[in-house]
Every structure is written in C-alpha cells, then in structure tokens.
Amino acid sequence: MSLISESQVILDLDYPDRHQATRALAETLVADGRCTDLDLFLSDVRKREEQMATGLPGGIGIPHARSGGITTPSLVFGRSRNGIDWGAEDGPATLIFLIAAPDGGGDAHLAILAKLARKLMRKDFRQSLSDAATAAEVVEIVEREVVNA
C-alpha cells in the first residue's frame, strides 16, 4: 500500500485552526481504512503538538504522531490558500503534511519526517506542491521526491 493516495490529498484545506484542519486531514485516513480510531489518533497528534509546535519556516506544517488508531504508515497532504497557524514564528502554514504511523511501528515515520523536512527546505519542491493542479499531481511529486527518492 502506498504511503499517500489521491484520496489523501486536500487541495483546498480551508479551516480556521490547525485542530479542525488536522481532523479533516485525518478523516481521509479513516475513509481509506488506515485509521481505526479517529479520536485516539487526533488525541495523539494533539499531545505531540503540545510538546512542540510542528510549524516550520516557509509556510509548512507537519503534524505527526504514532498512534494505536493507525494501521498503516500514511501521509496526508493539505494545501491552504489563506494559511493556517501551525505555530511557526514566520506565520501560517499553506502546505501541510500529516504523518501517521502505527504505534510500535518502529522509526519509519521518523525517516519519512526527516526526508520530507529536507525536501521542504527546497523552494522548488514547495513551489511544485503549491502549483499542483490535481491530487494525482501531488501524489506523483511526493512519491518521486520523498517516497522513492
């Protein structure tokens, strides 16, 4: 099973705060059978956010957690034209990646997080995600640049 699918891409993530946005992103995992307990997963993400904000400079949000509610390592992408406050010092996030890993699933999600964070420091990668017209295009970019790189 691929890390990300077209159904795990929201190109118009329009929510007033990160908690509502995270819920919308996580609901794609429930719909795809990758999350069996949405409330548990959201609680785990929120606990992680309370330790340290997951907003990065350049308009990036990377909420993530290991959770007993997740069955398959997964990546969900959301793009917000207006931006959502994810706690970064330089302002709201417009590109958001939700990383979900099963509890006890080893360090796979940390490897994904590290690889993704490195790619997100590249302006051309961020721009390609901002410019993507379809969910299929986002999946192709992420698979080429992060998953299969």
Query: Of all helices (H) and strands (E), which one includes residue 77?
Result: strand 74-84
Instruction: Outline where the chain has alpha helix (H).
Output: 18-31, 38-51, 108-120, 123-131, 135-142
Is position 64 annotated as part of the catalytic site? yes
- Residue 134 has what DSSP assignment? S
Torsions phi, psi of 134, nearest 5? Answer: -135, 160
Give the up-direction half-sphere exposure of residue 119: CA atoms within 13 A in the CB hemisphere.
Answer: 23
Of the residues 34, 64, 66, 79, only one is catalytic, namely 64
Interior angle at CA 88, CA 105 and CA 69, nearest 5: 25
Beta-bridge partners for 99: 64, 75
* Residues marked as catalytic: 64
